[in-house]
Structure 1
């Protein structure tokens, strides 16, 4: 019988091969700057929506936010209405303006909106800083996962994740990123549909799980706003 790490490693190899195949196909479809940066403006609602979902359900969410849920209890669920509201605002009010503008980057729009090259530089700098932090969280989570599943050194896991993402982004740009995100969304939906019911079953159902968590700490099942944890 195959060991769990062996199965996980086989799945990882297959998934990586699929990602590189998507990257190579995207590379063959990329001919202009707009192809590389905005996928030739060809992404539809289904693929675009799945991409947003996969982006939201990143390592920071699957590892970090779930860990925060474990730390604070169900009250941390109040974060989700705010996040969904942000996505709705972006989809209804922000995205149409950016699409109508016809630029290829957010700094392009900022520079045109404020008639300032300084605004372009400032916004680009802020994006670099923000995404440096964001990507650091993803690579950290990747290192933790590799360490837990395969007993690899933490840095080796970080390096593997970084190299894979660098290669497929460099080859196919936005088209590669979007379609690999689409594949990731399918994998995550499939995984959650199996893992969540199985985990609930293994702990004896929602009722037993709730009583056990309340016994550990009543705050874990109390519907508070979690403000103390956020401030700390």
Structure 2
């Protein structure tokens, strides 16, 4: 909210509000793309993949998801070339293929957004309930109200800057909090004990587990390729980044 107030513009047209004037810089764009992919459900799913399939589970989750970001790059270049002032994928779909295709894509994206919001609100509400005296329901309302207010106030620019702040927080978690908790819980010796006690299967020990690929990797490859060319949350950042920065932005977000 503080960032939204700080960057608010009194005179702003629809292009600035929807896509930040197609002029977002490299660092913020790359961070926003990374944060868009590493959301609440990614945290749930990667942990579940590791528990279920062993060491190769998170690899199959993260690798194909990262390639999805890279996969959209050639499409993104083409879309920005044929529709330099577009705001949404549905707008491009309407111009190229007509109203029915636009409505199909819009319906799919609305459904996907509702699912995404629900997942994020549940995660946010749970965190607030754990870290404060407030209830889970109150936490969901606070998260929802905050997102709605900063979006109405400053449009897409506020969303991108919020993503940047989230990436900084996630890097802090990855570098400091997760390793600290891991070593306090027992460290690598936990894995050695699990293997010695027969709690880990050979498939779970393998970096090239066929179980992980068939049940986690292969379905996810299909899912992320569809996501890459049909998801508005990714495309919105494509429309916002400065056109000459599309390539370095997507490569950096893939690595991130």
Q: Same fold (TM over 0.5)?
A: yes
Counterpart of 1:88? 70
Counterpart of 1:173? 155
Counterpart of 1:112? 95
The 2-side partners of 1:166 and 1:212 are apart by: 48
Aligned length: 209
The 1:178/1:28 distance shift into structure 2, 3 A limit, reads: same
Counterpart of 1:125? 107
Counterpart of 2:190? 209
Instruction: Spell out, residue by residue over 1:73-130, the C-alpha distance to the aligned partner (whole angstroms, 9 max, x if none).
Output: 3232212221121111112x1211222212111101111222x122112211111011
Task: Choose from 135, 156, 171 the match for 1:153.
Answer: 135
Task: Choose from 172, 176, 185 the match for 2:167.
Answer: 185
Task: Choose from 16, 21, 42 the match for 1:40.
Answer: 21
Secondary structure of residue in 2 paired with 1:28: coil
Kept in 2, the 8 Å contact 1:59–1:137? The answer is yes
Moved more, 32-41 or 55-64: 55-64
- For residue 33 of structure 1, report the CA deviation from its aligned partner: 0.6
Counterpart of 2:182? 200
Counterpart of 1:3? none
Kept in 1, the 8 Å contact 2:4–2:158? The answer is yes
> RMSD across aligned C-alpha pairs, in angstroms?
2.4
The 1:152/1:74 distance shift into structure 2, 3 A limit, reads: farther
The 2-side partners of 1:190 and 1:81 are apart by: 21
Structure 2: 5+ residue runs without aligned partners?
Answer: 220-256
The 1-side partners of 2:142 and 2:46 are apart by: 23
Kept in 2, the 8 Å contact 1:210–1:221? The answer is no
**1:22 aligned onto 2:3:** yes
Kept in 1, the 8 Å contact 2:90–2:102? The answer is yes
The 2-side partners of 1:210 and 1:75 are apart by: 15
The 1-side partners of 2:163 and 2:198 are apart by: 38
**1:60 aligned onto 2:18:** no
Instruction: Summarize the alignment of residues 63-78 of structure 1 with structure 2, pairs less than 5 Å apart.
Output: 63-77=44-58, 78=60
Kept in 1, the 8 Å contact 2:49–2:216? The answer is no
Structure 1: 5+ residue runs without aligned partners?
Answer: 1-19
What is the TM-score of this pair, normalised by structure 1? 0.80
The 1:180/1:44 distance shift into structure 2, 3 A limit, reads: same
Kept in 1, the 8 Å contact 2:46–2:62? The answer is no
